[in-house]
Amino acid sequence: MKKRCPVCEEVKSLEDFHKTKSRKDGHHGLCKNCLNKAVTKYRNTEKGYLKMRYNSMRVREFHDKKWGRKSKCHFTLDEFLAAWEKHKNIHGMKSAWGPGVDNLEQHLPITMTQEGKGQTGKHGNCRGNKVTGSNLSVDRLDPNLDYTLQNIIFIRNDENRRKSDSSYEDCKIQMQLHEERFVEMKAI
């Protein structure tokens, strides 16, 4: 059987359309290539990118084997978008990771771009989810706690990857050592 894609206006085999139970013929209305291009275009918008980040936090609730533990997300998409707007009012399009709001010129800029040009991946979904260092990442301040509005900050992927090499406990120990040696001036 064949079907016509309304976007590219080509008649294609049903294998070129994603399967879906919501349509009578059991296949999506747009062909895989056109749908993937549309998804990539949407993910390159601010709201599309933020929704993708939010959904990735929600998925972690169900994939405890991959990340080692379940990390629940305790806020809605609307609350998440409001938190992003608050961040932008304070930091602009810059990372929260840095010397403070008084020195925003030292904070690194954040981007929101989805790599790829709508290519079809192995399983028929969008390909090109390449991690870009300057892209927005949602980080938990304390990795032992779930995703809550109080426990997240908006930083860059490269900053989040650097930070993940140290545990929260290691950071506390390092801060304590720093205070002892440089603030209280205690010798080794």
**Residues 84 and 136 occupy one common structural domain:** yes
Same domain, residue pair 82 and 112: yes
The per-residue pLDDT for range 89-122, each reduced to its tens digit, is 999 999 888 777 788 888 899 998 876 555 555 5
Q: Is residue 170 part of a domain?
A: no
Lookup: tokens for 5: 């894609």
Tell me if 131 is assigned to some domain.
Answer: yes
pLDDT above 90: residue 82: yes
Cβ atoms of 18 and 34 within 8 Å: the answer is no
pTM, rounded to two decimals: 0.74
User: Mapped to the 3 state alphabet, what secondary structure does 25-49 carry?
Assistant: CCEEEEEHHHHHHHHHHHHCCHHHH
| Range scoring the smallest mean pLDDT among 33-37, 81-85, 171-175 | 171-175
Using CA atoms, how far apart are residues 149 and 146, in angstroms rounded to an integer?
10
pLDDT band at 165 (very low <50, low <70, confident <90, very high): confident
The pLDDT score that the predictor gives to residue 188 is: 44
Q: What range defines the domain where residue 7 resides?
A: 1-39
Same domain as 104, residue 29: no
Burial of 54 (0-12, 13-18, 19+ CB in 10 A): buried
Q: Are residues 155 and 113 in the same domain?
A: yes
Residues in Cβ contact with 154 at an 8 Å cutoff, skipping those fewer than 6 apart: 83, 84, 87, 91, 95, 96, 110, 136, 137, 138, 139
Do residues 58 and 151 share a domain?
Answer: yes
| pLDDT score at 133 | 86
Q: Count of domains in the chain?
A: 2
Q: Is residue 106 part of a domain?
A: yes
The first and second tokens of residue 153, run together, are 């900050």
Predicted pLDDT at 123: 46
Q: Are residues 78 and 127 in the same domain?
A: yes
7 and 58 housed in the same domain: no
Orientation of helix 46-59 relative to helix 77-91, angle to 10°:
120
